[in-house]
Structure 1
C-alpha cells in the first residue's frame, strides 16, 4: 500500500514538473534565438528604411547630380522621417541669419528688455551700405513699403515697431527690418545665442555663415 502511494506521488510529480521544465527550457531557447537575431534584423530594417526613404529620392531627383553644391537637412515632423546630405558643409547663410535675430528678439521680449511696441529707427543710407557689402537675399517685392521719413535737410530714416519689424523680417525677408532688430538686440547677443544653442558651425560675422545641420537644429 505504501509503495503504491509513493509510486503515485512520483508519477504525479513527473506529470507536473516535466511539462514545466520543458516549457521553461523552450522559452529560454526561444529568447536566445531572438537575441541572436535582433541585431541582424535591426541592421536589415535600417538599410531597408534608408533605401525606401522618399525624402532621399525626392532630394536626389530635384537637387543632387546637377553639378551644384548643396547642403540638405529635411525633417518630416509627422512621420519622423529625415534625410541629410552635405549637412556639415559651411555656406553663406543668405537670409537664414534672420532666424537667429528673431530668436534673440523673442528672448529679449520675454525678459522685458525689449517691447513689441517700441519704435526702431535707422538710417537708410547706412543700411544700404551694409546691404551692399553683405549681398543678402533681397526682400520680397510684394512686401509693403517701409515707413521712410524724408527730409530736405536730414538723411532718410526708416522706422518700424519691434513686433512689426520681426514679422516683416520673417514673412517677407525684409532686410531693413532685420537690420533694425539686429541693431536693437546687438550682435554680441546673436553670437551668444549661437553658442547657447550649440550652432557651432554658424557665425554672425560679415557675411554670416552656417550649415544645413545648424539650421535644421533650429527647428
Structure 2
C-alpha cells in the first residue's frame, strides 16, 4: 500500500515545497551567510593583490579553510559590518560598477559550474537521476533536496546583489543583468520544486515520466533555457 497523499492540488504541493525551502534556509541561514561573506572577502583580497587589470577578470572560488569559520561567525554577528570592506559608492563610480559587474559574472560562473551551461540540460540530467532510482525513495529525495539547497544558495547571492544594486540606485544594463540573473534562478528553483513535489507525494515516478514524455514539466518550457 502506497503512502497517503498529503496534498491534493498542485497549489498545495507548491506551497509545501516553498515551505521546505524556507525552513531549510531558516535552519542554515547563518552558515550560508558565513560562507558568502568569507568567499566575497577572499575574492576582494585576491583582486586587490592582482591589480586593476586582473581585478576585472573572472575570479576563482577557493574554499574557506575550516579554521576561519569561527572568525567569520564573529565577523557576521554584527549585521552593520557584514561587509566592512565594501561600501556603496556613487552610481557614477567606475571602480564600484566594475566590482558589481564582476560579482554578477562570478554568480553566473558558479551557477554554470555547479549545474550546466543550459538549465534544461541540468534538469534533464536531474530527471534521469530521479527516474533511474525509481525504487529508492530516500535516494531520490536526497538528490532533489541537494539540488534545491544548491539553487537556494545561488539565489540568495543573486537576491542580495540585486538588493544592493537597488540600494545604490543603479539603473540601466547593470540592474537589468542583476534582475535577469535573479529571475533565472527563481525559475530554476521553481522547476526543482516541481520535481520535489513528484518525489515526495507520488509513490513512484510513473506520473513524472508521463508528464516528461508530454513535455509538460516546468523545465521543458521554452522560457527556461533563456
Q: Which has the higher strand share?
A: 1
Give the TM-score, by structure 2 length.
0.20
| Structure of greater Rg | 1
Q: Which has the higher helix share?
A: 2
